Amino acid sequence: MANPTGKPVSAAEARRVAEEARETEWKAPSFLKQIFLGNFRLDLVHPFPEPPPERPEFRDFMARLDRFLMDRVDSDAIDRDGKIPPAVIEGLAELGAFGMKIPKEYGGLGFTQREYGEAMKLITSRDANLIVLLSAHQSIGVPQPLKLFGTKEQKNKYLPRLARGEISAFALTEPNVGSDPANLATTVRRTPEGDYILDGEKLWCTNGTVASLFVVMARHPDTKKISAFIVEKAWPGVEIGERCHFMGLKAIENGIIRFRNVRVPKENLLWGEGKGLKLALITLNTGRLTLPASCAVLGKRCLEICRTWANERVQWGEPIGRHDAIAQLLAEMVATTFAMDAVTDLASSMADMGDRDIRLEAAVAKMWSSEEGWKIIDRTMQIRGGRGYETADSLRARGEAPIPVERMMRDFRINLIFEGSSEIMRLFIAREAVDRHLGIAGAFADPKAALGKRLAALPRMAAHYAWWYPSRWLGWGRWPRFAEFGPLSGHVRYVDRTTRRLARAIFHLMLLHGPKLERRQALLFRTVDVGADLFAMAAALSRADQLRLAGAAEAAQAAELADIFCRTTRRRIAAHFRAMRGNDDVAKYRTAMRLLDGEHLWLERGMTPMAMAAELASEAMPAAPAAARG
């Protein structure tokens, strides 16, 4: 369905909508926010927050879940059939898995974020489709925004149903709305009685074809504001359209949902009119923490696969893991997996503490873990060689272990796209990284602002930067600071020093490029990547130190992994700083524009034609049989 205006909104309008939905206040401290300002707040990540001792109730649940996954879930069959068997969904519902995050008073299990993360890790270790089913339901589906923003009546009405196993879905995306909600075309109009009439079409709604409840984002045509509603599938006018199919996650129930003149009672508005986008963003703050948990488990599974195979497979007279090229990959994989686990647990624990603002930590955890996880699965494919590319069924048929690297890779790739693509996460993080500077110097740097307004900003700027800038050069980041970290103290000092260096670099870029910096994404994204790496280093160092303090048996190994991770990451950070000073960004941008303008069409000669336009594609494809829809 097209945007009712017929064309996408302007860049300025897209920015305005995003700004309006932004949470502008920072009521609680954030480690990453401070990193971008040049303050290394070790106290916010150290000591590493350990969960309280495991509750017997939680331990029982995990044991039952483990047995269930082992006995009843056949991942190869799920992938092959493109369907999660109803018995598996029923079994999960009986276990209470649809209500893990729902408070006990509403019939849920009342898990903390960290406990929920542990359960989701266990499920991921068995099957990625199940994690997407459960995550779309309760990380971003109806339970999460309802818990955060619902009224008592709404909670009483829906949470018990959801805890019992009614499936829910989150419906924001539309054909013209992927990363940019400003194009939202689903409309909602008020009736004289105060209810709402919903019209529109949602795309790629995970669980959409099996859910009975949806949280739907729609726009008021008069005010242009976006609101969120709980919508029931059973209501007249809700139509479940085509099921969509993807490269991986073959069994997710993802589809098109149409709303035609659907009457939504006023009681089903969530939070308030015009607060829908903000609700979606806040829901995603903790909602997107499930994804890094899955990435950490993928890393662990890849380690298991590669450790076994690199020992077992002998080529050129030696196990392949003993050839230097493969050994280098293995070392980075094990060190990064240690860091991913630390990042996930740290961000989840921070969410449970409730006294920290985790929006940047969650975004970094999602972006960083999905990208590092992708490298790990790619390397696992390389280490498994041809067997990595072969399907599990084919391996089994030949009498070999059915190790599903091919499926894991297919299932994993989407993590860099949904729940905020890597680029959108970087934009979001970069916006917050420069926020303080914009607040203080924004008016001065704005060429459209009146001269009076620009000059009025000067005294405030002078007062702030006269102290702030020199102090980003001061501070002792050398020995013996942080000596209590023992052999890892050098890395802690590096994080401290580099935090100030990063803040200076951001400031220098702002001075150099002014408002045009907004358009220099490659430059801005390097600053984001340095911040993300510093967070990952801090998490790994803190986790290693916590194991040392606890006298854990694996403390020495953890210190080794943290050390290797930090050494590798420091080299990457150095490369980012170098590229901030000298790069080919402008030349590459120009080449990309020429490509877009067709100047390099000559290079595309010599291929068979491909249908690039939608009309051609629909001409070529026979209409889907009715049975395949819904």
Which region among 202-210, 228-236, 284-292, 603-611 touches ligand FAD (by CB under 6 A)? Answer: 202-210
Is the Cβ–Cβ distance between 206 and 253 less than 8 Å? yes
Q: Find out whether 167 and 212 touch, Cβ atoms under 8 Å.
A: yes
Give the range of 200-208, 309-317, 363-371, 545-553 binding ligand FAD by CB under 6 A. Answer: 200-208
Q: Write down the least CB distance from residue 284 to ligand FAD, Å.
A: 10
Nearer to ligand FAD among residue 367 and residue 383 (C-beta): 367
Q: Does 380 participate in binding ligand FAD (rule CB under 6 A)?
A: no
Q: Please report how close the Cβ of residue 240 comes to ligand FAD at its closest, in angstroms.
A: 14
Q: What share of the chain is helix, strand, coil (3-state, %, to 5)?
A: 60, 10, 30
Picking from 233, 267, 273, 266, the residue whose alpha carbon sits closest to that of residue 152 is 267
Give yes or no for residue 424 binding ligand FAD (CB under 6 A).
yes
CA distance 387 to 402: 9
Which residue is associated with the tokens 């923003």? Answer: 149
- Shortest gap between Cβ of 453 and ligand FAD (angstroms)? 28
Nearest to 257 by CA among 269, 240, 272, 274: 240
Q: Cβ of residue 629: shortest distance to ligand FAD, in angstroms?
A: 18
Pick the closest to residue 537 from 507, 571, 587 (CA basis): 571
Distance CA 175, CA 256 (A): 10
Alpha helices in 550-613 (DSSP H): 555-581, 585-596
Q: Is 31 an interacting residue with respect to ligand FAD (CB under 6 A)?
A: no
Among 92, 133, 172, 358, binds ligand FAD (CB under 6 A): 172
Q: Minimal distance in Å, beta carbon 427 to ligand FAD?
A: 6
Active-site residue (options: 201, 253, 372, 419): 419
Q: Please identify, using beta-carbon distances, which residue of 254 and 527 lies nearer to ligand FAD.
A: 254
What's the rounded Cα separation, in Å, for the pair 262 and 198? 5
Residue 143: closest CA among 159, 161, 157? 159
Segment near ligand FAD (CB under 6 A); pick from 172-180, 183-191, 545-553, 605-613: 172-180
Binds ligand FAD by CB under 6 A, chosen from 122, 417, 555, 579: 417
Tokens of 251: 């069994």
Q: How far is the CB of 423 from ligand FAD (least distance, A)?
A: 3
Q: Indicate whether 19 belongs to the interface with ligand FAD (CB under 6 A).
A: no
Tokens of 257: 């949902």
Residue 172 CB, nearest approach to ligand FAD (Å): 4
Query: 248 vs 477, which CB is nearer to ligand FAD?
Result: 248
Q: E strand or H helix at 240, and its extent?
A: strand 238-244
Site residues (CB under 6 A) for ligand FAD, limited to 571-630? none
Residue closest to 45 by CA, chosen among 358, 478, 290: 358
Residue 344 near residue 369 (C-beta atoms within 8 A): yes
213-219/168-171 β-pairing: parallel
Stretch binding ligand FAD (CB under 6 A), from 167-175, 235-243, 531-539, 575-583: 167-175
| Cα gap 235→498, rounded to integer Å | 56
Instruction: Return the residue of 68, 309, 418, 525 that touches ligand FAD, per CB under 6 A.
Output: 418
Angstrom CA distances, 319 to 300, 330, 378, stand at: 21, 13, 20
Q: Is 76 in the site for ligand FAD (CB under 6 A)?
A: no
- Which 3 state secondary structure label does DSSP give 2? coil
Our finding on whether 179 is near ligand FAD (CB under 6 A) is yes
Segment lying near ligand FAD (by CB under 6 A), choices 228-236, 418-426, 481-489, 573-581: 418-426
Q: Is the dihedral of CA 190, 196, 200, 203 positive or negative?
A: positive
Is there a contact between 432 and 33 (Cβ–Cβ < 8 Å)? yes
As a whole number of angstroms, the distance between CA 350 and CA 101 comes to: 16
Contact of 185 with 3, CB cutoff 8 Å: yes
**Residue 210 binds ligand FAD, judged by CB under 6 A:** no
Q: How many residues bind ligand FAD (CB under 6 A)?
A: 22
- Candidates 227, 254, 286, 499: give the one binding ligand FAD (CB under 6 A): 254
- Residue 324, phi then psi, degrees to nearest 5: -55, -40
CA angle 148, 154, 159 (to 5 degrees): 75
Nearest distance from C-beta of residue 243 to ligand FAD, angstroms: 12
Secondary structure class of 101 (helix, strand, coil): coil
Find the binding residues for ligand FAD in span 395-414 (CB under 6 A). Answer: 414
The residue among 433 and 544 lying less far from ligand FAD, judged by its C-beta, is 433
DSSP secondary structure string, 508-540? HHHHHHGGGGGG-HHHHHHHHHHHHHHHHHHHH
Q: Does 173 bind ligand FAD (CB under 6 A)?
A: yes
Asked if 206 interacts with ligand FAD (CB under 6 A), we say yes
Question: Which of the residues 266 through 305 are near ligand FAD (CB under 6 A)?
Answer: none
Q: 419 an active-site residue?
A: yes
Question: How far, in Å, CA of 266 to CA of 197, rounded?
Answer: 10
Nearest position to ligand FAD, beta carbon:
178
Residue of the chain from 58, 98, 204, 259 that contacts ligand FAD (CB under 6 A) = 204
Query: Is 174 or 496 the residue whose CB approaches ligand FAD more closely?
Result: 174
Candidate residues 109, 136, 142, 350; the one interacting with ligand FAD per rule CB under 6 A: 136
| Interaction of residue 519 with ligand FAD, rule CB under 6 A | no
Question: What amino acid is encoded at 233 in this protein?
Answer: K
Question: Applying CB under 6 A, which of residues 105, 221, 246, 487 lies at the interface with ligand FAD?
Answer: 246
Residue 128 found at the interface with ligand FAD (CB under 6 A) = no
Q: How far is the CB of 184 from ligand FAD (least distance, A)?
A: 11
* Chain Cα centroid distance, residue 48: 22
Under the binding rule (CB under 6 A), the answer on residue 535 touching ligand FAD is no
Please state, in angstroms and rounded to a whole number, the distance separating the CA atoms of residues 61 and 75.
21
Which residues, 6 or more positions from 19, have their beta carbon under 8 angstroms from its beta carbon? none
The answer to whether residue 423 forms part of the interface with ligand FAD (CB under 6 A) is yes
CB atoms within 10 A of CB 245: 12
* Residue 170 engages ligand FAD in binding (rule: CB under 6 A): yes
- Does 178 bind ligand FAD (CB under 6 A)? Our answer is yes
Is 171 a binding residue for ligand FAD by CB under 6 A? The answer is: yes
Stretch of 117-125, 198-206, 282-290, 618-626 lying at the interface with ligand FAD (CB under 6 A): 198-206
CB of 293 to ligand FAD, least distance (A): 18
Could you list the active site residues? 419
The site for ligand FAD (CB under 6 A) is made up of 136, 169-173, 178-179, 204-206, 246, 249, 254, 414, 417-418, 421, 423-424, 427, 521
